[in-house]
Amino acid sequence: MRLRVWGATVACVAVLAAGASGQAPAVNAESFAKQAMLANKAEVKLGELAVQKGQSADVKEFAQMMVKEHTNGLNTLKEAVKGQNVEEPAQLDTKHQALYDRLSKLSGAEFDREYMKAMVDGHREVKSMVETRANRTPTTTGTSGRVSDDSRLDSAVNQWANKALPTVTKHLERAEQISSRLK
């Protein structure tokens, strides 16, 4: 799996494997939030690696943006889901760790190409997932007719995704620009 990139001063989003169709599968709000937190942590760690190992000034600048915006995105997401019993993942998952380990063995132009390829692939998948989440209509009441905790979380995550979508799009466009120059 490639890294799924998110980032924004306002928000960052999640990691998900796209299905065979290339579309991200539907995810409940809690799972989406956890994946988004995980993606932010991965982006920070990979961005720090790219700042150190990157050769191109564009790659290093992009990596610095990822570190800054994903740190902010993680904090923003944690605030959005505060009090909703969404546990932040303590460490990277196997797939992100494998990507980190693979990239850490590369250097120079090869590192730059592989890092940016991972950024492009990830942003494409994430954009699809965020669009799906942002366009979702949350249930506003529980079975009792009152606003339920699930609907509050769903609403908070959907609002966050709406704020994140322009940034995801911006990151994808920038990653594609840089990647196309590195070939």
- What CA dihedral angle connects 80, 86, 92 and 93, to 10 degrees? -130
Find how far residue 87's CA is from the centre of its chain. 17
- The C-alpha atoms of residue 151 and residue 138 are separated, in whole angstroms, by 6
In tens digits, what is the pLDDT along the chain, a chain of 183 residues?
Answer: 333 333 333 333 333 333 323 334 457 899 999 988 888 898 889 999 999 999 999 999 999 999 998 898 889 999 999 999 899 999 999 988 999 999 999 999 999 999 999 999 888 887 888 888 888 766 554 444 444 557 889 899 999 989 988 988 999 999 999 999 997
Residue of 45, 62, 176 whose CA lies nearest to 104: 45
Find how far residue 101's CA is from the centre of its chain. 19
- DSSP for 115-149? HHHHHHHHHHHHHHHHHHHHT-------TTSSPPH
- The C-alpha atoms of residue 97 and residue 112 are separated, in whole angstroms, by 18
Which residue segments constitute the domains of the chain, with CATH numbers given? 29-178 (1.20.1260.10)
